[in-house]
Chain A
Amino acid sequence: MDTQDFTAPEPAFEPAFEMRIDFGDTHHVGHIATGGARSCRPVAGGAFAGEGFSGSLVGGSETLLHRADGVTSVEAEYYIAFVGGDVVHAFGKGYEVLHNGSRDLRCTLLFEADEQGALAALATRAFIAERREGASDTIIYRIV
């Protein structure tokens, strides 16, 4: 493969934030016509911290589709109220899959924040979230 003319930087991760999510009871929609079983874990609370910022989870959900191929796809959405008053929206898509015997959640995350607010820089980067099976914290990595 000729890659001589490709000079863009190779991406990497850097840990940025930790998020503890308290979920409410899971809602089960059942098996849907487009394939798979739909369910939703609503966010009931939690905490978000890193890089000098901290806040509380005030809303959101992880919407799951347990697909016919055995993979669980996840659409995640979180609302975080930061100390100081800024509210940020994080959203992304990913999967729950087995990694070395652990059924881990991995999803992409983008942020929406007030452009004049203290968290505006969050919206200028892309992130990956990972939560190991049984772990209480979701680790959010910035893609650099």
Chain B
Amino acid sequence: MKLEFALEFRIALGARMHIELAEGYTRGAVLIENGTFSGPSIAGRIVEKSGGDFPMVRQDGSGRFESQYLLETDDGANILKRSTGVRHAPPEVVRKLMAQEPVDPTSYYMRMTPRFEAPAGPYDWLNRTIFVGVGQRNPTGSIFRFWKVV
């Protein structure tokens, strides 16, 4: 197995909402305002109001990601993207991430494993490929890069 770069996403996030499920257990909800994606054989934008990130965040810094939103390629194909992931970070780094303050991207572990549903045709390789991603929070939003496992 090896990794081959596939996609980069640049995303502007809306306000973060919180669901306090129990003390120390919070479901976050961050809707995506807009975004674009591009890679060697694909490019397009995120469909507005099509979804967001819904992380389960713990006080100790651990967290699990669940996200879902729709993509539209430059040639008009709609693709559903769903992702799960893991974050593990020191509490101070988590506090900064939650406050959308800049942090050193090497100071925490954050990996995503997205899945796609694409129409039959030039993008259907997405339907049978495992991906690994890393993310980075910038002052203006998030950048995600995904590699396919080949």
**Residues of A with Cβ closer than 8 Å to B?**
1, 3, 5-13, 69, 71, 92-95, 97, 99, 106-108, 110, 123-126, 128, 130, 141, 143
Considering the complex, give the chain B residue whose CB is closest to the CB of A130.
B1
A108 to B64, CA, bound (A): 14
Q: A71–B63 Cα gap in the complex (Å)?
A: 31
Q: Which residues of B contact A95 (CB under 8 A)?
A: 128-130
Contacting residues of chain B (70-113) with chain A, CB-CB under 8 angstroms:
84-86, 88, 105-106, 109-113
Residues on B facing A (Cβ under 8 Å): 1, 3, 8, 38, 62, 64, 84-86, 88, 105-106, 109-113, 115, 120, 124, 127-130, 132-136, 138, 143, 145, 147, 149-150
A97 to B126 Cα, complex, angstroms:
12
Q: Are B136 and A8 in contact (CB under 8 A)?
A: yes
Establish whether residues A9 and B128, one from each chain, have CB atoms under 8 Å apart when the complex forms.
no
| Residues in A neighbouring B149, C-beta threshold 8 A | 106, 128
Q: Kindly report which residue of chain A lies nearest to residue B3, judged by CB atoms.
A: A11
Q: Quick one: given A10-B134, A110-B86, A124-B109, are A97 and B128 in contact (CB under 8 Å)?
A: yes
Residue on A nearest B135 in the bound complex, by CB: A8
Given A5-B138, A69-B124, decide whether A106 and B147 contact each other with a Cβ distance below 8 A. no
Q: Is the CB of A8 within 8 A of B105?
A: yes
Provided the pairs A1-B8, A123-B62, A124-B109 are in contact, do residues A8 and B134 lie with their beta carbons within 8 angstroms? yes
